[in-house]
Structure 1
């Protein structure tokens, strides 16, 4: 029976989608990767997840775990294996409004979370797209629209319900299973399958949302001024910058989000951005947070955005780093470069507090290239940027290997992550080739 499904466990009756099922076409892939798994299992409980893990062990099928399906590495699907798709587990409950504690199942998408929490005046800084799944962000880091005010998603996780690779169900918090809680907050993919998270949300109603476009000078001085503004900015302001080139001109498309519905607070936070250079256009308004991660984002994932992506963290926007970023955008083949502001609340926790150890860097740089020559194009574009970086974020890496592991989990953090992966997953069920 090795390598084939055989007889399904009774718990999975009606929950396994085979290639001849009409649903298979829309369930087999992630956003970036087309998969051809032997089956996609849609569990509805921790018991179902344990049954799927048992089935994989008995059949020898390789496992892929998926929450939202945006995962850039494509690890949310495979060819010939078993995909555990958590999308049926998407409950969002407010456990205690006074302490802002909410429970979010791992298969929910962030648009669903925002919609569920909005009537309570609550929000969680998460991904920047409503289709992104909770599980991937909440086990990797979580750099969202509110990041400088709220911090990372993992910083506010108080407990995680986990099915370990051997099928055991565990609730990890600071008192019970603190090591498991630590590794699930930043490196959870190699330790267990998250069922649900207890997360401390923040009070939030409206937010300021501004969009600006600035022309980039060849030396990158505009980028340096953006970084200087963000270094002095109030925590309420978070920004994302996309560099796009056409011919010899590179423009920076800046999205600014202010965690306030006060026009004066928004104006004071955004106004310094107008002085970074030649700002061509601007628009600002007060919107509900749900507008930033709306439900219409929740499309099916069919491998529609094939790409190769890598990333690095910058502590300082030096002249050389800024010049390298502007130069990398247009040549020799265009790539997509995105910058996310960090600092603020992301610097509050100690580096050892979670498996996400990067607590002094100020900018996340993400570079993506697209077919037909995406890997070669990405390698050429990234090479002059890499030497300026100090660490990396695991969720924006298409080709994880030992080198990218060391960047994401440096020094003692990497040692502890590897030790805990081996403790909780000694047979490498979730990560067939863990770092040596």
Structure 2
């Protein structure tokens, strides 16, 4: 073999496993770890020239202020990364994303306000994440969705006020959680968290330090079993009405659905309509006039929007036709939870309109349950209701006037699948 080639190869090998001057590099053979210790060196940046075979890197107790996407490009096989007690305020997106073998990150005792949460999607082997003593104000609801192996999570001593419901649900291996010493908002936004803390088997040290910072009347109280929050998940009832009566049929059939909701805080009402040709979402009212005026004056519907949602949550669809057949869903949403009730509407011109309804899974209309006490859950009673409406049609009398008589039952009917909650 060419001696020059051997010399170059040897030099490259030495260079690839070199150790920065400020660091100590050694191997723990019993654990198969290649450790690079750069702690306590007054470093202001991540040093270059890190050995590519490093599995553990300690940069703790330095003066590092920022992390770039390329900061750890030389050590892609890292399993442990220790960065505590620095002055890190900036962590660029992509800093950790390619370190797919990471099992532990310690970024505690820094000044991080904006963590690159998306980087965690790639770190499926992560078992420990320490972010305590930083400036974090929020955590995305999906931040930990890919961390199935995570066992320990530290979020204490930050600036968190609320967490989205289900934040911890996707971590089946989670055994230790620290969220104490945050300025928690103990409004109904934290109702789910209170319930979760009461029922979880995850170890949560310093529970007495998980206290309320707001509202004022709850400041300093522990977010636990002894704290009472005046909150209630939404309850929804969907009721049918019609503009038809026994004597007069206005210009076109008007379908009216009343969505009655209760909850604390008062729920927001949203409607969804799914037909064969379109999906419609209406958040809140889209007309000012009350619905009783609509029923009192059928001709006025000609100049209005055909689909109207009123301030009381009612929905009206004027001149209902085959194109309007489909699923009508009323949703109620507040800070505590979410409920919805769906109704299917079909005209008798449809092929076997009732058959599909009977096969429908009524569970789809039942409430999405939050973490709350069993005695506080609102019981549901699904009911299958068929409503046959007999509109009246014009008929000319012998005297030349117009009278109204019922059409046959088979000409028109509406079928509803109602799930009511009481």
TM-score by length of 1: 0.22
Higher relative contact order (CA 8 A, sep 6+): 1
**Structure number with larger C-alpha Rg:** 2
